[in-house]
Amino acid sequence: MWQLYKKHKHSRKKVINTSNCNGSVEQLCNNTEAKIFEVMFFSQDSSLCRPHLRCMQPCEKLNCSIRYLKRIIYYLDSAIHTLDICIYFFTFVDLAEAVIRAKNRNVVVRIILEDSMTHSDRSQLMNFYKEGIKPVFKELDVLVHHKFVIIDNNILLTGSINWTKTAFFGNFENVLVTNESAIVKPFVQEFERILTMFTATETKSENSDTQ
């Protein structure tokens, strides 16, 4: 018990709460000691921030959707090695561009999507294909309803929000960002589990087609 207390006490010194958006993300990412615990809440007044999307300038609200969007893009732009995305519906061009930027700087990008949502005209699927990114999806009886992203197996973004403008500018949504390994590791394992399941099925299907 004392060990746990000491560990907790020690870790508390490293915690930097960035939920008020006044902290520097760059400093956090460069400091491997720093713990990231960040929460974003979107609500019905997020729609008021949508007109600012063109200039990408946040308004004075601490929970401005543009501010949150820029934070998420910053995290995506911080990826050095890997970017793993598992998301139900992905239509938001600004976020797709950040994913493509990662691919173009040789980050290994892996994406799992919900099959039924890839049929939408607004899905970024074709844009990813054009850029050499091949998202994985599989027709199932159930939905891939996840919304999580793992950066360099170290930073997790998860929550309710689909990567759509509707979600960012009008819905009640939440996003949690953390590099707490006890939380990140299970997500890493789950991403690998789903990816293996989907790609193994694809391989089996391809083989059976040739027989």
Write out the residues near Zn ion by the rule CB under 5 A.
49, 59, 64
The answer to whether the CB of 148 falls within 8 A of the CB of 177 is: no
CA 127 to chain centroid, in Å, comes to: 18
Q: Residue 106, by phi and psi: left (phi above 0), alpha (psi -120 to 50) or beta?
A: left
Instruction: State which residue, 64 or 86, has the beta carbon closest to Zn ion.
Output: 64
Least gap, CB of 39 to Zn ion (angstroms): 17
Q: Which is nearer to Zn ion, 64 or 96 (CB)?
A: 64
Does residue 86 come out as left (phi exceeding 0), alpha (psi in the -120 to 50 range) or beta? beta
Smallest gap, in angstroms, from Cβ of residue 21 to Zn ion? 11
59/80 with CB nearer Zn ion:
59
Report how far residue 77's alpha carbon sits from residue 186's, in angstroms, rounded to the nearest whole number: 23
Query: 124 or 164, CB closer to Zn ion?
Result: 164
Which one is catalytic: 14, 145, 185, 204?
Answer: 145
- Integer-rounded Cα Rg, in Å, for the chain is 18
Nearest approach in angstroms of CB 73 to Zn ion is 15
Listed residue (68, 17, 61, 55) closest to 173, CA to CA: 68
Tell me the closest approach of the beta carbon of residue 187 to Zn ion, in angstroms.
29
Tokens of 35: 């713990």
Terminal-to-terminal C-alpha distance of the chain = 60
Catalytic residue list contains 84: no
Active site residues per annotation: 145, 147, 152
